[in-house]
Amino acid sequence: MQFQRYSREEYLQLPGKPGVYKFLDESETIVYVGKAKDLKKRVSSYFTKANLDNRKTYRLVSEIKQVEFVIVSSEFDALLLENNLIKEHQPRYNILLKDDKSFPSICITNERFPRIYSTRRIDHSKGEYFGPYTSVKAMNGVLDLIRKIHKIRTCKFNLSEENIRKKKFRVCLEYHIGNCLGPCEGFQSEKDYLLDIEEAKRILKGKVGVVSRSYKERMQKASEELKFELAHSYKVKLDLLEKFQSKSLIVNQKITNTDVFSMTESEKGNSLFINYMRIENGAIVNSETIEARKKIEEDNIEVFRFSIFDLRKKYGSSNPYILSNAPVEPWEGVEVVIPKIGDKKKLVDLSFKNALYFKKEKFSKQSIQPNEAILRKLQEDLKLSDLPVHIECFDNSNIQGSNPVASMVCFKDGKPSKSNYRKFNIKTVVGPDDFASMREVVGRRYSHLKKEGLPFPNLIVIDGGKGQLSAACDSLKELNIYGQIPIVGIAKKLEEIFYPEDNIPVHISKKSPSLKLIQHLRDEAHRFAITFHRQKRSKASIESGLDKIKGLGPKTRDKLMREFGSITRLKQSSEKDLIDLIGQAKTDIIREAIKKGDL
């Protein structure tokens, strides 16, 4: 199954939408299939240090070379599609869904007095199916709800007219406790029973408005009569109704042996983006989006039709029905339909959503014009072997050694990539030692990248002169990567550029765009470090100030720190704000401390 594909390094470009992703190894074998409410966040989480501490995750990530994905409408659909794919491909890192179990459905039999029951086996000759359900608890809750509202039989007797007339059966315990009206002995007519079945079908189809309103009224009445346990039971039923889902686009027993195609034209009109989804046995089993180039004289529908032939041939599809968003001339043995409403229309919309996203990504990649001229000028000025599309810059910040911090900012294609900025608390250095601090943070940063197998930048910039640059180089040497990454230092005042092991600095023209880019990096790193330092200093200030006041416990101090963040803001707060936060007694303690100058 082919989804939209990204390299491992491009995973941050994934959409923040629900979907299913696949990890492929070097031989393009699927090693893991997963679902996500937010594809970008979920896939990114695999590459964080916290997850890589897990041995299994570390092994998985070390094998990932490609990431493929498809967008779906909801997390519910993503779960069902994930289930299908794991059972089809059996990836070695998936363990939970490898068995042959499917999600359960609810069946209403086609007997004379239909039964309603849950099952994992679908046989359309036995009746009508609703589902599947990802939550067994929600499904059982709906079944229970139906059986309490409507008296549906649970026995498996053959209730033919002849058997009932001959009194072949006797009412069971369900009749005596009020759960059944006794159709087996003719106590309930078939007509009345079928009315109950129709009501049950409405609930299973999601038309639960009338039932919901009834329960809300009963819950309100029970609450007014102080029957809180009864009111809570109605509330539980309402919650189960809200969780209830009768249908899914990903697995829909009513739609089977169908191909879904959608197309959208490129901005320039020289190509089409076409998505294909193959439905077998009520489930999506294949999906792919392609770009089809066309000649000036070719018609969109003609190109679309040929693409349909190619994709069906590629996946060996002989499905007799095609759903499409554009009119295509049918051929022998195949019916083409453009649905207007219902689940089939939703399937076409889902396909079109994937085609649109593929088009958007293609267009955005083509339309992005990185500051290539500036980067090439920087490459020339610094004599770099590679174009510096990925640059990282470091800076330290402290006041006489107190609250020492550092920052790393990242520029990609000559622009800030703020999602890749990093803050560092200095852990191993005591006192105002900028060189040792720089050595620590550079070592931590590239030890992390090396361990995770993530790409190194094309250039490292150190805010500082020869001392800071030398300290950074020492860290790279300890990691055995010195010489693999170009590194320079920029000294303030004269804006001199220093190379490692070279006492003579390089002077770039003050008007050069490449120097302006380095200055932008340096200034951004300085701003980011200063901001972090101030935040840490304010927190430390209020912590130390509050520690001196007797009568305030740790929980109260934490509340005050979270709310105000600094002594200044605490002093400026109103008495009412303090009372609302910590109460009158502790507010009086704070006010007295401020009055005495203890705070």
Q: What is the pLDDT of residues 246-285, one digit of tens each?
A: 444 445 556 778 899 999 888 777 888 899 988 776 667 6
Beta-strand relationship, 321-324 and 335-337: parallel
pLDDT at 249: 47
Domain boundary among 310, 341, 367: 367
Residues 407, 459 within the same domain? yes
- pLDDT above 90 covers a percentage of the chain that reads 12
Structure tokens at 108: 């209403």
Residue 518: which CATH number? 3.30.420.340
Residues 570, 480 within the same domain? no
Contact 456, 449 (CB under 8 A): yes
- How many degrees, rounded to 5, is the angle at CA 442 between CA 441 and CA 445? 85
Q: Reply yes or no on whether the pLDDT at 167 is more than 70.
A: yes
Residues 381, 528 within the same domain? yes
Q: Reply yes or no on whether the pLDDT at 357 is more than 90.
A: no
Q: What is the mean pLDDT of the chain?
A: 79
pLDDT at 362: 72
Contact 559, 581 (CB under 8 A): yes
Residues 127, 58 within the same domain? no
Q: Which helix (H) or strand (E) holds 71?
A: strand 66-71
pLDDT at 589: 78
Position 179 in a domain: yes
Residues 396, 530 within the same domain? yes
Residues 17, 133 within the same domain? no
Residues 422, 522 within the same domain? yes
pLDDT at 109: 92
pLDDT at 245: 44
Q: Any idea which residue has 């041939």 for tokens?
A: 313
Position 100 in a domain: no
pLDDT at 166: 85
Residue 26 pLDDT class (50, 70, 90 cuts): confident
Residues 360, 508 within the same domain? no
Q: Domains in the chain: how many in total? A: 5
Position 214 in a domain: no
For the ranges 170-179, 552-561, 566-575, the one whose mean pLDDT is highest: 170-179
Q: Reply yes or no on whether the pLDDT at 342 is more than 70.
A: yes
Residue 313: which CATH number? 3.30.420
- pLDDT above 70 covers a percentage of the chain that reads 78
Residue 527 DSSP symbol: H
Q: What is the pLDDT of residues 97-141, one digit of tens each?
A: 454 456 678 899 988 999 998 888 878 888 888 766 655 666 776
Position 144 in a domain: yes
For residue 296, what are the domain limits?
258-367
Residues 324, 385 within the same domain? no
Residues 362, 385 within the same domain? no
Long-range contacts from 530-539, C-beta under 8 angstroms, 24+ separation: 530/397, 532/397, 532/405, 532/407, 532/423, 533/397, 533/398, 533/399, 533/403, 533/405, 535/565, 536/403, 536/405, 536/425, 537/399, 537/402, 537/403, 538/565, 538/566, 539/565
Residue 478 pLDDT class (50, 70, 90 cuts): very high
Q: What is the pLDDT of residues 515-530, one digit of tens each?
A: 989 999 999 988 888 8
Domain boundary among 352, 367, 382: 367
The answer to whether the pTM exceeds 0.75 is: no
Residue 22: which CATH number? 3.40.1440.10
Judge residue 86's burial from the number of C-beta atoms within 10 Å of its C-beta, 0-12 exposed, 13-18 middle, 19 or more buried. Answer: buried
Q: Any idea which residue has 């026995």 for tokens?
A: 155
Position 511 in a domain: yes
Q: Which helix (H) or strand (E) holds 279?
A: strand 271-280
Position 252 in a domain: no
Task: For the sheet with 105-109, list strands across it.
Answer: 116-119, 105-109, 127-130
Residues 439, 529 within the same domain? yes
pLDDT at 456: 93
Q: What is the pLDDT of residues 359-418, one digit of tens each?
A: 877 766 555 445 788 888 899 889 888 889 999 999 988 665 566 888 999 999 888 998
Position 564 in a domain: yes
Residues 492, 401 within the same domain? yes
Position 121 in a domain: yes
| Three-state secondary structure readout of 369-430 | CCCHHHHHHHHHHCCCCCCCCEEEEEEEEEECCEEEEEEEEEEECCEECHHHCEEEECCCCC
Domain boundary among 334, 367, 400: 367
Residue 566: which CATH number? 1.10.150
Q: Reply yes or no on whether the pLDDT at 489 is more than 90.
A: yes
Residue 544 pLDDT class (50, 70, 90 cuts): low
Which has more confidence, 459 or 53?
459
pLDDT at 462: 93
Q: What is the pLDDT of residues 37-71, one digit of tens each?
A: 888 888 888 776 555 556 667 777 788 888 888 88
